[in-house]
Structure 1
Amino acid sequence: MKKTHNWGIIGLGGIAHKFASDLRDVESAQLYAVASRSIKKAQNFASEFVVEKAYGAYETLAKDPKVDIIYIATPHVFHYENTMMCLEHGKAVLCEKPMAINARQLKTMIRTSKEKSLFLMEGLWTNFMPHLQKVNQLNQHKTYGKCLKVEADFSFEAEFDTEKRLFNKGLGGGALLDIGIYPVYLALKLLGPPQEIEASCEFSSTGVDISNQINFKYASVATAKLSSSFAKNTPCKAKVYFENATVELGPSFHQTDQLKIETNSGVDHIDFHYPTHGYQFEIEHVQDCLERKLTQSPDWSLQSSLVLTETLDKIREQFGLVYSEDLK
């Protein structure tokens, strides 16, 4: 019989609700405790999801000896301090993407997790979903030959509000870190780090990127064309061009349950049929890592997160986008 893993969640916004909903479908997963800076918000969340403990302070949850692993779902800018606090209290951590604002922060987080032999992983849930597992398998096995090009876009029209996270520079806002991370992730996963990056963006009045265009070039003939925006609604599709096939992901390529594979012999459609938000695949993977007493994921390693973060840093450098965390 599998051990029941007691989960805690820090930060109780929209993504935490989706995560908690999917966690209920995972065998041996128990949402034991939640924490918000507002005790009332924590209590309401606990009532909705039948959670035993509701805390009005993050550190109180981290100190709870019954908590096995903590999912951090706070705004980007708090990921570093929240993760470090949880690690200091001896807790395994799954931290929502991006795990840190910059590579310097992430290196400290990684070093601390290794020193304390604690599990740490970036919550890049897309990596564990069936459609991405399938595409990665096709790539690794060279089923349709080498990957030649990746095209990916993630855009939606967001209400402009200077106080909310998306446009608030003080909260790590901007299209790149919020949604552009998905196209960048896909290119890195399939093609690896690029030899050359060309990146440009449009800034909002709050000083964050409202839309961006990114091109990766490789020593081989491979390329990637990536984009994200808060200024327009798009299908958010991705296409992966292999030598002998084109694989289309989407709409909403980061969370779709469908693939279209086009070859010279015709078109195949794959439907993975899952009724949830898709977080359960990530949760199941994390619990498997904990069962195996691993301190990082073999499928989305800390090195993978570091390469992703370093790439985002290089892109922001071309934008001229600097957060206060970069100056500390």
Structure 2
Amino acid sequence: MGDTVRWGVLATGGIAASFTTDLLQMPDAEVVAVGSRSAASARAFAERFGIPRAYGDWASLAADEDVDVVYVATPHAAHRAAAGLCLEAGRAVLCEKAFTLNAREAVELVGIARERGLFLMEAMWMYCSPVIRRMVDLVRDGAIGEIRSVHADFGIAGPFDAGHRLRDPAAGGGALLDLGVYPVSFAQLLLGEPDRVQADALLSPEGVDLNTGVLLGWDSGATALLSCSIVSDTPLTASVSGTAGRIEFPRGFFYPEGFVLRREGREPEEITVPGRRDSLQHEAAEVMRCLRAGETESPLVPLDGTLAVMRTLDAVRDRVGVRYPSEVPGGVTRA
């Protein structure tokens, strides 16, 4: 791996544009190709960002030998197909969240990557945030004692009509996979995979979750109370409470500027880390660090952790009765 890592971008939507914008500001990153199902969309994206090659299909991007790593930015219903195609072609992959529709698909992708010795990482940018990493270090050093409870929520008001992607079961619609993945990932970053999962949800007429509450439990006695919604603008905050203190994140906990550490008998400490709070460069930098080091998994976003989160999301959907067409005999999903 040379000093400059050459990226391919698969898909041309909003998150692909944001990631590409941030990559182009990094001196050790180069975006050399973009792929889309639409040749016109790929060409327009390439012209917008000065990308030399545009492909009107995924396979051509995956086959491009000048690409070191592909960023998969499709909606999650297509992640298994898109990331799998790239891995089968020998490309390293950074795949957006939710990683896949379900744990079965996630296991398949991880299996391909490990069998072929290829780098694969979920684009859980929250895990790469210097602020979140600072919080994890404090917790592990015992700053708040033993964790007893985690609270986190992510809700947006909408409304979204029945034809929107977030209401479409075939697209993996609903609040959980788009938004709930953040609170669940936040809790499991600190506590690991839960021993018990409870959940309740308001479902749409199409059968996706609109408003979901989740209670996770661990044998240690810790609990996590989490929620997500596409019908309600929630606070978007998070907190971690332990036997010796509490950490509180303000609105936007998943891309924070800082947090407050509260401990009995001490003044509250405001802890911040300089830099853009919404930067996607931290996860890109971690991918490039791993590739240069010859690592096939990131210690910040380990694949076993991604699989554990997907199992929890599956358990939540099982509790509330959400199944996608591809999970039903004879059903299909968009890929």
| Deviations, residues 142-196 of structure 1 (Å, cap 9, x unaligned) | 2221111100000011231223221111111110000001101111111122221
- Partner in structure 2 of residue 314 of structure 1: 315
Q: Which position in structure 1 is the counterpart of 2:103?
A: 103
- Residue 29 of structure 2 aligns with which residue? 29
**2:76–2:98 contact (8 Å) kept in structure 1:** yes
Partner Cα separation in structure 1 for residue 309 and residue 224 of structure 2: 15
**Which residue of the partner structure matches residue 216 of structure 1?**
216
**Secondary structure, aligned partner of 2:236:** coil
Equivalent positions of 1:174-323 (< 5 A) are: 174-264=174-264, 265-275=266-276, 277-323=278-324
In structure 2, what is the Cα distance between the partners aligned to 1:300 and 1:255? 16
Name the TM-score, length of structure 1 as normaliser.
Answer: 0.96
Equivalent residues of 1:26, 1:283 under 8 A apart = no
* Separation in 1, partners of 2:144, 2:160: 43
Residues 205-262 of structure 1 deviation map (CA, whole Å, 9 limit, x = unaligned): 2210001000112222211100000111122000111222211112111112121122
Q: Which runs of 5 or more structure 1 residues have no equivalent in the other structure?
A: none
The residue correspondences of 1:13-52 to structure 2 (distance < 5 A) are 13-52=13-52
Residues 153 and 227 in structure 1, CA contact (< 8 A), matched pair in contact too: yes
2:332 aligned residue: none
Determine what percentage of the aligned residue pairs are the same residue: 36
* Cα separation, 2, equivalents of 1:308 and 1:10: 24
1:46-65, aligned counterparts within 5 Å? Answer: 46-65=46-65
Between 1:249-258 and 1:37-46, the stretch displaced more is 37-46
Superposed CA offset, 1:59-83 (max 9, x none): 1111111011000010111000111
Shift in Å at residue 276 of structure 1? Answer: 6.0
Structure 2: tracts of 5 or more residues without a match = 330-335
How many residue pairs end up in the alignment?
328
Give me the whole-angstrom Cα distance separating, in 1, the residues matched to 2:244 and 2:24: 41
SS at structure 1 position matched to 2:322: coil
Amino acid at match of 1:310: R
1:142, 1:268 → 2: CA distance? 15
Residue identity matched to 2:213: Q
Amino acid at match of 1:268: E
Aligned position for 1:85:
85
Aligned amino acid, residue 21 of structure 2 = S
What is the identity, as a one-letter code, of the residue corresponding to 1:5?
A: V
